Structure 1
Amino acid sequence: MTHRSKHAANNNPRPRPARGPRGRPPSMFDRLEDFHAFVTVAETGSFSAAARVLELSPSTVSKLIARLEKRFNVRAFDRTSKAALLTREGEVYLEYIRRVIDAAADVDGLAETLARAPHGTVRVHTSLSFARSQLVPLLPEFVHRYPDVELQLRVGPRFVSLTDDMDVAVWFGATADSSLVARKIATSRRILCATPAYLARHGRPRTPADLHGHELLSYSLPGREYWPFLQDGEVREVPARFRVSADLADLLCQMARADLGIARLPEFMVSSDIQAGTLVPLLEDYAFPEPIYAIYRSRRHLSVRIRSFIDFLAASMRQAPWNLDRRN
């Protein structure tokens, strides 16, 4: 490179990143300090008000914001003598910076959370069929592993949303409540089944249309008058005409075992009956997967006792023979 080219190059230096205190490159701590200042100014609407909240001088807050703006090469605030208003670019950064601060807070609490042994009560809401066939067999291992955690199982025929007396619900399908978290722990199917004796008398249906004229055992709950099937890649509903109904899957299963008809039941509930030959699965090609979720409140500040239960349940369900996720 000639002397002239060096001179030209020096007239156009590469941009340097913003520097931290005493000219050193900014550390992660510096950036979090800038982020906290940025969010506080955005929430209070002025540098002076943010300075009071942060217990810093207004000039220090101004320098922190200037350092952040230089790093991102953006003007985050429109400044007046009395206020600091977010620019459009600042509004975009605010959303992401809040996520970073939240994540940092979670990391700060992680060591303390892991160090604490889970203790207290976990109130679990689920169906009677899931509690009886899946949860109860797992209880000996759970109480041995977490001796200071008390489990309260509450069962019901349906789930709408978490109430104040529930910590976590285990249910088919995600909740429509956007304020809740739904973590998938397994995938099962609802399959049709009947006893060999019933099928010997009434014949075996080969398609959903063949169910017409059969004795169907169905739930006595609103919206259960139709049975859904997967046909030609679409879920289609077939009217379920029944003479005997119940609001609990356990009762329907007992009716099916008593040769009363065909029931549509969760595979996790009847897998042992099918393996033993007590019940025969029907129309399996028309069954579709249904995820099972642990539904709980926000991931942030989730107590260690609730997290321990959900993690334990998810790990246990992973090995269940009926879990479709295990087969993939």
Structure 2
Amino acid sequence: MRRPLAPLAAAAAVLFAAPALLVGALGAPAAAAGGDDAGTGNDSFTIQDPRITESSGLAASRLHPGVYWTHNDSDDGPYLYAVDSATGETVARVTLTGIGTPRDVEAISIGPGDRIFVGDIGDNLDGTWPHVWIYELPEPRELRDQTVRATQYVVTYSDGARDAESLVVHPKTGRVYIVDKKEEGGHLYEGPEKLSASGGNVFRPIAPVDLWATDAAFSPDGRRLAVRSYFGGIQYKWDDATDGKIEREGRLGVPLAGQGESVSYSADGSRLMYGSEGEQSPVEAREVPGGGGAGDGGGKGGEPSGDDGSAAGEDGDGIGGDGLGAGVIGVVVVGAALLGLRRLFRRG
């Protein structure tokens, strides 16, 4: 369906003004991390592969230090890309077999035993699909272009179809969780203790999540859950999560860089890595509030450092909140324009 040009023109006008709005509201963007972290996976980098134009998920490899797995959002095929954070270059493209045609791939996570889980869970038509899919495959031991057979799982929700962009696998238990994407309060959904390839897998809500989630990630020790939106994020303590209780620890300093889509803890748990869509999209590193999540889970939840380029505030963390003051209203307008453009093109 063709869309009227007026909304596109208005959105484009705002987008052209975006740099000035951002600089005026937030000052200069945070600089990339220094050379000491190069090659460790703790440094900011830029994805160089021209095939990766809609990086929508991000996961730090524990098998290959400094490598991050990503994928395009849609219209690309059954491909995963291994990107070396030291150079931003793709070091392997994996083609998935044993599955159907991917529809709207939104997330990637790595579970116990170096098993990669891919969430084909997007639904831009707000609950049209009767089911979505999760793909599971072993992480390749050798980084080269290759074909890997994956297992496909059919997923439904106990309370009806919904859009989602966040899939996480607990690094200790291997249980899979999804966070749906709702403007007025989403939920954390828990999958079965073990996914079934021969039957359906019903995910059930166990806890509210107070923002419009575009991605989520577990810390390597499994004791923290980071959830991000376009403009902000929340870090939760994972204790008692199976009882439907996740304790909010604090806000996250989410950088404003294009259309913010992905988040991953670094392999050592000391950094949160934030990615976005677009050609040569940046992946920006930020220190984890409270001090890392590799071994002891860090201290109590704290605030991000003042120089992290955060757009998040103390309280609201949804698309309409994030604690944005009057000086950042322009950023909200820019974000709305980005979302409007994306939806217009995808539904058109």
Superposition TM-score tier, normalisation by shorter sequence: under 0.3
Q: Greater helix percent: which structure?
A: 1
TM-score normalised to structure 1 length = 0.20
Structure with higher Rg: it is 1
